[in-house]
Amino acid sequence: MKKLLISTVLLLGLSMNVSAQKHPAPPPHPSKSELVNIKMQELTKKYNTEKKLILNHPLATKKMKRDQMKALNERYAAEKRLLKQAK
């Protein structure tokens, strides 16, 4: 009987200790405009790296570079337009 009482008290004490521990607060979720701004920065960074790769390509001719830049600019404008609509 004494062992049962001791084990019950220990079990209750341990369960109270575990439930009393504070859990870390979840990180705050960014707002929609913050998400759009982050995506816009990523898009701009991606655009700049692709532009640099196209312009610095050693084998591409001027016409090839012009066509690739035109396609890149159209794609960038379309994605930027979609992000602006999401705001």
State in Å, rounded, how far the first CA of the chain is from the last one. 68
* Per-residue pLDDT at 32: 87
Contact at 8 Å (CB) between 18 and 10? no
Total residues found in the chain within this entry: 87
In the chain (87 residues long), the average pLDDT of successive 10-residue segments reads 72 61 76 91 97 94 96 96 87
Domain edges within the chain: 28-87
